[in-house]
A = this chain, B = another copy of it.
Amino acid sequence: MNGADALLDTLLANGVSVCFANPGTSEMQFVSALDRRPAMRSVLCLFEGVATGAADGFGRMAKAPACTLLHLGPGYGNGIANLHNARRAFTPIVNVVGDHATYHRKYDAPLNSDIQTLVGPNSIWARSADTADSVGRLTAEAIAASYGPPGGPVALLLPADAAWTQTSTSPVKTSAPPRSATPADRVSDTAKMIRSARKPALLIGGDACLAEGLREAGRISARGIPVFCDTFVARQPRGATVFSPKRMPYYAETALAELEGVDLLVLAGTAAPVAFFAYPDRPSDLVPSGCRVEVLASRSENAIQALQELGDALEAPVSEQGNAFDVSQEPRGVASTAACGASIARHLPEGAIICDDSVTSGAAINAACLTAAPHEVLGLTGGAIGIAMPMAIGAAIASPGRKVIALSGDGSAMYTPQALWTMAREALDITVVVFANRSYRILHMEMKRTGAGGAGPAAKQLLDLGNPVIDWAGLAKGMGVSAFRCETAEQFDAAFESAMRESGPKLIEVSL
């Protein structure tokens, strides 16, 4: 048994049994060890941003880490953008980064780089397993660390010699540390403050947006206290009968208007709201002046239990129900985002998982899906576009039997088109919808808001994706995924309905 075997044994002993991989020479021992450990499912991704985004989708659904296998500094580098999103989603991920043999590092061969520094900004734990005997112990540490709370990506460097050297260590068991409960007096104090506040509000995020958290938040809402959720949430149920908190608006000025007059903002599973970007003459801090901010449960604490106890303290007996099921809107005419939203809502099967990176197309879809069959949404937590398709891969592997839908802008989808190949290879039940508006449309809006004025000829060139037009259906077919292009609402409705009825990967391009 060598260090690579020890790594796989400890991963498997702790339930980490999926690996999103793009290996190179320094990872050959790990790859070879996979032949001896058939319990580990390895999924080849032809670009590391697909592997890390898939691990994020897996972790959000499984509430447990997958691992990735990445090739030295450049391989890790390619995965950084989606690890940034995973860090902001607090998703447990164990990144195994192959490295040169320990004694080879000093020669500074062409692929050598400062991996320890590179992994820092997006890892909540990072170590190099420099000997075969240390691999099992450090792998267990890495897994435990990835759970947090509140969890996040970790980086375990595996030098080639630690992987190929023999060891007789046993698999090391570990477990997820529990989340600590909110102290009872904090709950009763918060309840008192709410009772005496003029205009209290609750802001939830993270685990508080999972099914049980939403139910408890719905009880508090039924007591007349407005409940908001973060603008971008890692994982959140949505649809008919599901309590639907108000989403904190993306734009600072709209968010400020929503919170106007609030004198007490109670936080559960999240932090105080801030503007996504700074703009000249607009505040960064979205908490109204004079408003008291009270942390009921931090991101590391058990926010669901805290909400339940707060509901009890407020004597909130029943949960506010979400919307009634209603998919009666008929999609007609041009394939607008509103029409597509109506179609998605009509045909969405119960329990579907929507991976959402649709940027400017998203609002209309969200509105329509509030009355659709209950489903879950995985959002763009870190603002790094290009995650919908990769995340869908991980979500599908973590949740067999559930339909997965990736909603993406065309600008976003161009970041990680290689994801389509892995969907085809693994025959995953994913429907990708690309909203092709042929521009970085959000930037047309942002340009004015940052005080930069309207776009002139040179600026327009940098926001335009229409020259040449990207044939999304063609790209998908080129990677083995059946695809359709829709120009009308009726075409989209038929294509989406058929994709929901059939199994396997599909791509639908909507020409907006």
A346-396 with Cβ < 8 A to chain B: 381-384
A383, B108: Cα distance in complex, Å: 13
- With A25-B450, A160-B278, A381-B110 in contact, do A34 and B443 touch (Cβ < 8 Å)? no
Could you say which residues of chain B place their CB within 8 Å of the CB of A232?
110
Q: Contact check, A462 vs B23: say whether CB atoms are below 8 A apart.
A: yes
Q: Which residue of B lies closest to A448 (CB)?
A: B28
Q: Contact check, A284 vs B104: say whether CB atoms are below 8 A apart.
A: yes
Q: Which residue of B lies closest to A480 (CB)?
A: B468
Q: Which residue of B lies closest to A475 (CB)?
A: B478
Surface stretch bound by B, among A57-65, A176-184, A293-301, A415-423: A415-423
Could you say which residues of chain B place their CB within 8 Å of the CB of A49?
78
A73, B118: Cα distance in complex, Å: 11
A80 CB to nearest chain B CB (Å): 3
Task: Name the contact of A74 in the complex, choosing from B80, B117, B425, B450 (C-beta under 8 A).
Answer: B80
Q: Contact check, A44 vs B478: say whether CB atoms are below 8 A apart.
A: no
A103, B283: Cα distance in complex, Å: 10
Q: Contact check, B113 vs A121: say whether CB atoms are below 8 A apart.
A: yes
Q: Contact check, B471 vs A477: say whether CB atoms are below 8 A apart.
A: yes
Could you say which residues of chain B place their CB within 8 Å of the CB of A107?
274-275, 284-285
Could you say which residues of chain B place their CB within 8 Å of the CB of A103?
278, 284
Residue A42 at the B interface, CB < 8 A? yes
Could you say which residues of chain B place their CB within 8 Å of the CB of A458?
31, 34-35, 37-38, 40, 42
Task: Name the contact of A446 in the complex, choosing from B25, B111, B274 (C-beta under 8 A).
Answer: B25
Could you say which residues of chain B place their CB within 8 Å of the CB of A24?
440, 443, 446
Q: Contact check, A32 vs B452: say whether CB atoms are below 8 A apart.
A: yes
Could you say which residues of chain B place their CB within 8 Å of the CB of A446?
24-25, 28
Q: Which residue of B lies closest to A161 (CB)?
A: B278
Could you say which residues of chain B place their CB within 8 Å of the CB of A278?
100-101, 103-104, 160-161
- Per-position 1/0 for A474-487, Cβ under 8 A of B: 11011110000000
Q: Which residue of B lies closest to A460 (CB)?
A: B35
Task: Name the contact of A425 in the complex, choosing from B31, B415, B468 (C-beta under 8 A).
Answer: B468
- With A42-B461, A475-B479 in contact, do A26 and B277 touch (Cβ < 8 Å)? yes
Residue A324 at the B interface, CB < 8 A? no
Could you say which residues of chain B place their CB within 8 Å of the CB of A381?
110
- With A114-B121, A384-B111, A468-B480 in contact, do A35 and B459 touch (Cβ < 8 Å)? yes
A37, B164: Cα distance in complex, Å: 56
Could you say which residues of chain B place their CB within 8 Å of the CB of A42?
458, 461-462
Residue A325 at the B interface, CB < 8 A? no
Q: Contact check, B21 vs A462: say whether CB atoms are below 8 A apart.
A: yes
Q: Contact check, B382 vs A111: say whether CB atoms are below 8 A apart.
A: yes
- With A32-B447, A474-B478 in contact, do A77 and B84 touch (Cβ < 8 Å)? yes
Q: Contact check, A35 vs B451: say whether CB atoms are below 8 A apart.
A: no
A352 CB to nearest chain B CB (Å): 25
Residue A215 at the B interface, CB < 8 A? no
A28, B481: Cα distance in complex, Å: 36
Task: Name the contact of A455 in the complex, choosing from B32, B109, B160, B457 (C-beta under 8 A).
Answer: B32
Q: Contact check, A32 vs B480: say whether CB atoms are below 8 A apart.
A: no
A85 CB to nearest chain B CB (Å): 8
A251 CB to nearest chain B CB (Å): 11
Residue A424 at the B interface, CB < 8 A? yes
- Per-position 1/0 for A251-264, Cβ under 8 A of B: 00000000000000
A472 CB to nearest chain B CB (Å): 7
Residue A120 at the B interface, CB < 8 A? yes
Could you say which residues of chain B place their CB within 8 Å of the CB of A452?
28-29, 31-32, 164
Q: Which residue of B lies closest to A165 (CB)?
A: B280
Could you say which residues of chain B place their CB within 8 Å of the CB of A75?
81
Given A32-B459, A107-B284, A161-B280, 7 other A-B residues pairs in contact with their CB atoms under 8 A = A25-B450, A28-B446, A29-B452, A34-B462, A47-B415, A77-B80, A100-B278
A-B contact pairs, 7 of them (CB 8 A): A23-B463, A24-B443, A25-B277, A74-B384, A103-B284, A107-B275, A478-B478
